[in-house]
Structure 1
Amino acid sequence: MKVLLVNGSPHREGCTHTALCTVSETLNQNGIDTDIFWIGNMPISGCIACHKCNSRNRCVFEDAVNEFLSLAQDYDGFVFGTPVHWAGASGAITSFLDRAFYADLNGGGKRFYLKPAAAVMSARRAGTTATWDQMNKYFGLMQMPVITSRYWNMVHGTSPQEVLQDLEGLATLRTLGHNMAYFLKCKEVGSKLVPLPPEEPWQATNFIR
């Protein structure tokens, strides 16, 4: 089993990376393989609603989004990390997830269907819970079970060294890693005994009469 941890910070080895490494190490201790994917620090366009992903099963823009989509099918779970900018997820990870999930959803890729996901937030001080709510909305729409911890998945600090001093935050992330490993192992066993749920046909409705 493998989990892909996505670093949505413009800093490759900053606070968000440090938080993800804590989760990764815990997953490894539980026998789960991990990789970290950095979205980079180049501008990432938002979705332009061209709907080309309907036939391509990938985005029309060739950047980190399609690189991620080409890898995602091979992973059993995901952890998405983001710094907190203006009390919300970074603009880069927001555009990244908008396009990655929309391309998969519209293209019928099902790379993420029923695969567990979690969000990890890194902040100097505030905005983490609002960001957690924002990130979890993606997982709910993609039918991804949300893995939780005994507190919201956040760390505080302005440098990796300060993050490592947030003992409660690090313990929360380790608990998250243990919980995701447990879920993945239960899913592996359960999938041999229980069939996948039936899928309802998509019924799009509008609210203008």
Structure 2
Amino acid sequence: MKVLLVNGSAKVHGNTARALAEVAGALEADGIETEVFQLGAKPIRDCIDCQRCRTQGGGCVFDDDVVNKLIAAAREADGFVFGSPVYYAHPSGRILSALDRAFYAGGNAFTHKPGAVVAVARRGGTSTTFDVLNKYLTINQMPVVSSTYWNNVFGRNPGEAEQDAEGLATMRNIGHNMAWLLRCIQAGAAAGIEPPVAEHAHTNFIR
């Protein structure tokens, strides 16, 4: 089994990377393979709701950034951790653009797979960032992996996350809880328990 850790920071070695590394260490200690997916510092397009992914299949029509690579990596993963720094009390724009398109064009790569969200900040905005990113999980039938506190780590300059002992313990508990849930899902599948088939009804309030 493998967990994909998506780093929504442009900094490869920043505090978001440090938080994700702590989660990865706990997962690996429990026998779960991990892979870090770095969104990087290059531009990532927003979704323009062109609907082409509905007709052409295989991912997003825009293939000049990392989003289709993210979808491909997601198909090979059994669970996810999405990490973001806090910008203006909100997730990074790059992770929002990437996840908007990845979940729209390749949502079935994530469905029914466990996920967790990690927010990293100098001071404020972690709760709103945590809330925004969790919505991707809950709209796509993904079991949400919890911890012993909100999934936050504090630190501004690279390396400062090392001083947040409680935050790093929270990250390790995410990893251990994720490993436990993955094994439960694996055991359920071996016993013939299949994910439910969802109902769908699309309405609006324009009359």
TM-score (norm: length of structure 1): 0.95
Q: Does 1:71 align with 2:82?
A: no
**Per-residue deviation at 1:201?**
4.2
Dislocated runs of 4+, deviation >3 Å: none
Aligned ranges for residues 145-184 of structure 1 at < 5 Å?
145-184=143-182
Structure 1 residue 56 displacement after superposition: 2.1
How far the C-alpha of 1:200 sits from its partner, in A, is: 3.7
Matched with 1:96 is 98
Give the C-alpha shift of residue 194 in structure 1. Answer: 4.1
How big is the shift at 1:189?
0.4
Structure 1: runs of 5+ lacking an equivalent: none
Match of 2:140 in 1: 142
- Is the contact made by 2:112 and 2:195 (CA closer than 8 Å) also made in structure 1? no
1:56 aligns to what? 57
Q: Describe the SS at the equivalent of 2:112.
A: coil
* CA distance in 1 between partners of 2:81 and 2:151 (Å): 11
Percent identical among aligned pairs is 50
**How many angstroms apart in 1 are the aligned matches of 2:71 and 2:174?**
24
CA distance in 2, matches of 1:98, 1:14: 24
Deviations 1:115-163 (A, max 9, x none): 0000011100010011111011010111111001010111001123210
Check 1:198–1:166 CA distance in 2 against 1; reply closer, same or farther (3 A cut): closer
- Tell me, in whole angstroms, the C-alpha distance in 2 between the residues paired with 1:127 and 1:70: 31
**Which whole-Å CA distance do the structure 2 matches of 1:8 and 1:100 have between them?**
13
The farther-off stretch of 60-69 and 186-195 is 186-195
Task: Give 1:41 deviation, angstroms.
Answer: 0.5
The Cα RMSD (Å) is 1.1
TM-score, normalised on structure 2? Answer: 0.96
Cα 1:125–1:31 shift into 2, 3 Å: same
How far apart in 2 are the matches of 1:197 and 1:32?
21
| Cα-to-partner distance string for 1:99-130 (whole Å, 9 max, x where unaligned) | 0000024xxxx211110000011100010011
- Tell me if the contact between 2:14 and 2:159 (Cα under 8 Å) persists in the aligned partners: no
Unaligned runs of 5+ in 2: none
Q: CA 1:198/1:181 → structure 2, altered by over 3 Å: closer, same or farther?
A: closer
Report the Cα distance in structure 1 between the residues aligned to 2:198 and 2:37, rounded to whole angstroms. 33
| Alpha-carbon distance change, 198 to 180 in structure 1, aligned in 2, over 3 angstroms | closer
- Would you say how many aligned residue pairs link Structure 1 and Structure 2? 205
One-letter amino acid of the structure 1 residue matched with residue 62 of structure 2: F
Paired with 1:87 and 1:117, the residues of 2 have a C-alpha distance of: 22
